[in-house]
Structure 1
Amino acid sequence: MSTEQHPGAASLQVGGKDDDLEQRLDDELTAFNTAATGAGEPDDFSVRVTAADGELLGGLTGWVWGGLCGVEMLWVRADHRHAGWGSRLMRAAEDEAVRRGCTDMIVSSYTFQAPDLYRRLGFREAGRLPGVPGGHEDVYLHKAIGS
Structure 2
Amino acid sequence: MVWRMFRIETEVDKARREVLRSRLLDANTTASPVLAALRGTPGERDQPLHVWALDEAGRLAGGLVGHTWATWLHVTYLWVDTPHRGSGLGSRLLAEAERLAREERDCRTARLETWDFQAPDFYRKQGYDVVCVIPDYPPGVTEYTLTKRIG
Coarse TM-score class (shorter-chain normalised): 0.7 to 0.9
Which deviates the most, 92-101 or 31-40?
Answer: 31-40
1:65 aligns with 2:65: no
Quote the Cα distance in structure 1 between the aligned partners of 2:147 and 2:102.
15
Residue 31 of structure 1 and its aligned partner are, at CA, apart by 4.8
With the length of structure 1 as denominator, give the TM-score of the two structures: 0.83
| Equivalent residue, structure 1, for 2:57 | 53
How do 1:103-142 and structure 2 match up within 5 A?
103-142=108-147
How do 1:1-147 and structure 2 match up within 5 A?
8-20=2-14, 21-33=16-28, 36=32, 37=35, 38-39=37-38, 40-99=44-103, 100-146=105-151
Q: Which runs of 5+ in 2 are unaligned?
A: 39-43
SS in 2 for 1:14: coil
With the length of structure 2 as denominator, give the TM-score of the two structures: 0.81
Quote the Cα distance in structure 1 between the aligned partners of 2:20 and 2:56.
40
Q: How many residues align?
A: 140
Quote the Cα distance in structure 1 between the aligned partners of 2:130 and 2:145.
6
Question: 4+ residue runs of structure 1 moved beyond 6 angstroms?
Answer: none
Q: Which amino acid aligns with 1:125?
A: V
Residues 111, 53 of structure 1: alpha-carbon distance in 2 compared, 3 angstrom cutoff:
same
Deviations 1:72-100 (A, max 9, x none): 11111122222211111110011011111
Deviations 1:27-53 (A, max 9, x none): 444455556413222111100011222
Residues 14, 46 of structure 1: alpha-carbon distance in 2 compared, 3 angstrom cutoff:
same
Which deviates the most, 27-36 or 70-79?
Answer: 27-36
Query: Percent sequence identity over matched residues?
Result: 31
SS in 1 for 2:7: strand
Q: Which amino acid aligns with 2:10?
A: G
Residues 16, 126 of structure 1: alpha-carbon distance in 2 compared, 3 angstrom cutoff:
same
1 or 2, which has the higher helix percentage? Answer: 2
Q: Which runs of 5+ in 1 are unaligned?
A: 1-6
1 or 2, which has the higher strand percentage? Answer: 1
Residues 63, 128 of structure 1: alpha-carbon distance in 2 compared, 3 angstrom cutoff:
same
Quote the Cα distance in structure 2 between the aligned partners of 1:76 and 1:27.
36
Quote the Cα distance in structure 2 between the aligned partners of 1:115 and 1:45.
21
